[in-house]
Amino acid sequence: MNDLLRRYGGGLTALFGGLTGFWILALVVLPYLLLLVVSFRPYLPVDQLGGPNDHYTLSNYATFFHSPIHMKVFGLTVLFSSIVTFVAFGLAYPLAYYLAKIANVKSVPTLFLLLLIPLWVSEILRTFAWFIILSFQGPLNAVLSMVGIGAVRWLTGFNGVIIGLVYTYVLFMLFPIYNSISTLDTNQIEAAQDLGAKPWRIHWRVIMPHAKPGIASGCVMVFMLSAGSIIVPSLLQSTSSRWFTEVIWQYMFESQDWNTGSAYAFLLLLLCTIFVSVMMRVFKVRLTEIAR
């Protein structure tokens, strides 16, 4: 706050603070409080609202624990969101290291432009494109058949969902890791090489400890975005790959049961909060370091 006061003065600082406070209060805090209140109210006909049956209850949350199918879908969403996060890290970390420490400085902006071009296209269109690519009669299987491998049913189980989510959110893993690695002094890497450290040990003992805030931030963003995604799972799913956000959507917009849908949404929010806390403990970083 003191830096803002010195740089912009009292008027602009108050304006920035007021706009930020309005954004957080009106678009984050109040909607979540409303959903929280609704989640503890029973689902009633309109003529019974405000009557003797309209009271606080845990029945909406009990619906989840009394439904083995929904509990299974919730568990699978957690599992495969974690797999998406792990795969995205495996793809993003080597690329981030290459861009930060190996690639020519003059070529880095061009490489970033090539990575960002797909983001200019709507997520729905990109997901539809992957549906065409992964379909049994799609171009990917045509290429595999040409080289003698044969066609593969990509859109079975969670295969298509994982591929689509990794493609959609891998850049949210790449950028934080790149920012962390780019601040590492190259002399530390060269010193480790001069002392005879193997490449894997340099990454494990020098680079990754320095990049912990970026790795934690990327893992948090990819997991939360994957667990909360609705477009990709809806378009790339199979009959056995239901996503938890689809259950929330059905309660909210198909059954018009906002009470149970709100309870399910808060269970998903609780999951994401727990994941953030676990990532902070695993990587031993503070929330301020993740938010940078």
- pLDDT tens digits for range 248-286: 998 888 888 888 999 999 888 888 888 888 877 877 777
Which pLDDT does position 165 carry in this prediction?
93
17-72: pLDDT as tens digits: 788 888 888 888 888 888 888 889 888 776 677 777 778 888 889 889 998 999 99
In this predicted structure, the answer to whether residue 202 has a pLDDT above a threshold of 80 is: yes
CATH, range 68-290: 1.10.3720.10
Cβ contact 193:167 at 8 Å: no
- The DSSP code sequence of 149-186 is S-----SSTTHHHHHHHHHHHHHHHHHHHHHHHHTS-H
Question: What percentage of residues in the chain have a pLDDT greater than 90?
Answer: 25
pTM: 0.86
The count of other CB atoms within 10 Å of the CB of residue 110 is 11
With beta carbons less than 8 A apart as the criterion, state whether 148 and 158 touch: no
Q: What are the tens digits of pLDDT across the range 136-178?
A: 888 888 888 888 888 888 888 888 999 999 999 999 999 999 9
Give the residue from 202, 166, 177 showing the smallest Cα distance to 94. Answer: 177
Residue for token pair 């890791």: 177
Q: Report the alpha-carbon distance of residue 199 to residue 2 in Å, rounded.
A: 43
